[in-house]
Amino acid sequence: MRIGLFGGSFNPVHAGHRLVADQMLTRLRLDVLWVLVTPGNPLKSHAELAPLPERVEAARQILAHPRIRVTGFETALGFAYSWQTVRFLARTLPDRHFVWIMGADNLAQFHRWERWTEIAATMPIAVYVRPGAQRLAPTSRAAMALERFRIDERAAGTLALRRAPAWVYLHGKQSPLSSSLLRAHRHESAK
In what helix (H) or strand (E) does residue 81 lie, and over which residues does it extend? none
pLDDT given for residue 41 in this prediction: 72
CB atoms within 10 A of CB 34: 19
Domain 2-190 of CATH type 3.40.630.190:
no
Task: For residues 110 and 102, give the distance between their C-alpha atoms in angstroms, rounded to a whole number.
Answer: 10
Is 0.85 topped by the overall pTM? yes
pLDDT digit string, tens, across residues 83-106: 999 999 999 999 999 999 999 999
Amino acid letter, residue 158: T
Q: Which residues contact 48 (CB under 8 A, 6 or more apart)?
A: 11, 183
